[in-house]
Amino acid sequence: MKSKIVEIFKSIQGEGLYQGQKQVFVRFYGCNLKCAFCDTKSVFYAKESLSDIMSKINCFEDFHSVSLTGGEPLLQIKFLKKLAETLKMDRRKVYLETNGVLYQNLRDIIEYIDIISMDFKLPTSTNDRVLWDEHMKFLEIALKKEVFVKAVVGKNTSEADLMECIGIIKKVKPDLFFVLQPQNPYESLLENKLKTFKRICLNHKINVKILIQMHKKLGIK
């Protein structure tokens, strides 16, 4: 069994609540969505076996966890499950970065995951389809493990989409951490919108943080 892998590398996590943590990233090829702001569109990949990937991971030292990222890693669920299971047997912490849509696939792998970084894909940010039902079902499964949610905020992101996110959080887990991530490279232009969105979240008693993509600012992967 082999999987389509774009790259494997060590760096710091640039997004979300684990920003700054050292991780080994396994970037899977392919995605089921077409977000307007996507910054990981990949053309090239290699077919890697489980032993190939584990050998590369084990070449690195001193890291917090292995980030299974993409693209969307849950698209390659059979291979992902074997990899996550092997990582757990190797006593590695498994960190899943996902668009929060493929809830049935998450169900198959949840026992091997430690931390889930789940995106809310806001239609007015992505220019893609509405996914609220999928996000709700995904989050309900993700709650079996440590999870936080984040959403990219762009120039066209609407308050109505923010309220959809707030509604899901309040229904599923009111104390969940919600990260608002300004779209790169428009951070300075989005300051007022982010302040307004944060105030709305706080008014609804949502645990909210505004965090930029730190790796972009540092000029690293």
Is the pLDDT reported for residue 1 higher than 90? no
User: What's the pLDDT band for 39 if we cut at 50, 70, 90?
Assistant: confident
User: What's the pLDDT band for 41 if we cut at 50, 70, 90?
Assistant: confident
Closest CA to 142 of 179, 180, 170, 114: 114
- Give the contacts of 147 (CB within 8 A, at least 6 positions apart): 115, 116, 117, 118, 139, 176
Is the pLDDT reported for residue 180 higher than 90? yes
Q: Rounded CA gap, 133 and 194, in Å?
A: 25
Q: Rounded CA gap, 45 and 118, in Å?
A: 24
User: What's the pLDDT band for 217 if we cut at 50, 70, 90?
Assistant: confident
**For the whole model, what pTM was predicted?**
0.97
For strands 22-28 and 177-182, give the pairing: unpaired
Q: Rounded CA gap, 161 and 158, in Å?
A: 5
Output the average pLDDT for the chain: 97
Domains of the chain (ranges plus CATH)? 2-218 (3.20.20.70)
**What integer is the mean pLDDT of 64-70?**
98
